[in-house]
Structure 1
Amino acid sequence: MSLARHIARQRSHLETLIELLEAERECLAHGHVDGEHLSQLARDKQETFVLLEQLESQRVTAQRKLGYGEGRLGAERAAQDAGCMQDWQTFRERAQHAKQLNQLNGVLVGSRLAQNQRILDFLNEAAGKALYGPDGQSRRRGFGGIASSA
């Protein structure tokens, strides 16, 4: 398989990954997260990551066998000699985009986790203290400083 065809194959799978990352971001951005959908996206992402890693390993092995050095410089020389430098540069740009999407999704997941932890902490605190006195009146002045009476 030519390097150009291999890069095109890698790029096709990379575009699938980008679509999955965008769907994951969309799912995380909603007020109510669909856990099943998010889990399926995670499984699909993992499969795509594994495939991309295999393809990258194949490319690096072929690059080395052809006498090009490993790393970015060797990849650029191989792409230049194969006449597919533009394809390689586009692939690298899309890979950078996927990396940024993945990092953004990580921030969104972290934010969701922190929010859920705050809710759990509040509920644990509320459950650990009697909310009502013997007279049936609330001992707390609202939840978290928010008045519960209108």
Structure 2
Amino acid sequence: MSLAQHIARQRTYLETLIALLETERESLAHGQVDGQRLSQLAKDKQQAIAQLEQLESQRISAQRKLGYGEGRLGAERAAQDAGCARDWQAFRERAQHAKQLNQLNGVLVGSRLTQNQRILDFLNEAAGKSLYGPDGQSRRRGFGGVASSA
């Protein structure tokens, strides 16, 4: 397989990962988060990432065998010599886009976690340290004087 073909194959998996990250971002942006959908997206992302890592290891190994360095400069020289420097540059740009999407999704997840923690803290404070007594019955009626049956 030529380097151009290998880069095209990597690009296919990268585009799959980007689509999954965009779907994840859309899911996280909705008011109601679908936990099952996010869980499936996480599994699908892991599969795409695993495939990308395997392909990247193969590319680096082939690059090394051909006498190019392992780093960015070696990859650029190998792509230049193989006549696919544009493909390599396009792949790198898309990989940078995937990285940015992943970081944005991480911020969205962090915001959700912070929001949920604030809600839990409020409920714990309003209900007191312990919601239930040793007999399993609620120790309070309502939350902080607010009737919960309303």
Q: TM-score range by the shorter chain?
A: 0.7 to 0.9
* TM-score, normalisation: structure 2: 0.87
Structure-2 separation of matches of 1:106 and 1:55: 25
CA RMSD of aligned residues (A): 1.6
- Is 2:13 the counterpart of 1:10? no
> Distance in 1 between the 2:112 and 2:52 partners?
28
- Unaligned runs of 5+ residues in structure 1 are 133-137, 143-150
Query: For residue 28 of structure 2, what is the aligned residue in structure 1?
Result: 28
The residue type equivalent to 1:45 in the other structure is K
How many angstroms apart in 2 are the aligned matches of 1:69 and 1:100? 27
Following the alignment from structure 2 to structure 1, what is the Cα–Cα distance between the partners of residues 107 and 94? 20
Question: Where do 1:92-111 residues align within 5 Å?
Answer: 92-111=92-111
Provide structure 2 residue ranges, at least 5 long, that are not aligned to the other structure. Answer: 130-139
CA deviation vs aligned residue, 1:58-86 (integer Å, no higher than 9, x gap) = 00000000000110000000000000000
Q: For each residue in 1:35-65, what CA deviation from the matched residue of structure 2 results, as whole angstroms up to 9, or x when unmatched?
A: 0000000000001111000000000000000
Aligned counterparts of 1:124 and 1:73: Cα–Cα separation in 2: 55
Find the aligned partners of 2:22 and 2:141 in 1 and give their Cα distance. Answer: 43
Aligned to 2:71: 71
Alignment-derived partner of residue 145 in structure 1: none
Residue matched to 2:123: 123
Amino acid at match of 1:72: R
Judged with a 3 Å threshold, the aligned counterparts in structure 2 of structure 1 residues 85 and 72 are, in CA distance, closer, same or farther, namely same
2:126·2:144 contact (CA, 8 Å) conserved in 1?
Answer: no
For 2:132, the equivalent position in structure 1 comes to: none
- 2:42 pairs with 1:45: no
**Number of aligned residues:** 136
Q: Which runs of 4+ in 1 moved over 4 A?
A: 129-132
Partner of 2:135: none
Deviations 1:72-112 (A, max 9, x none): 00000000000000000000000000000000000000000
Q: Percent identity?
A: 79
Q: Distance in 1 between matches of 2:121 and 2:42?
A: 27
By how many angstroms is 1:139 displaced? 6.2
TM-score (norm 1): 0.87
> Which residue number in structure 2 is paired with residue 135 of structure 1?
none
Q: What letter matches 1:128 in structure 2?
A: G
Question: Is 1:88 matched up with 2:88?
Answer: yes
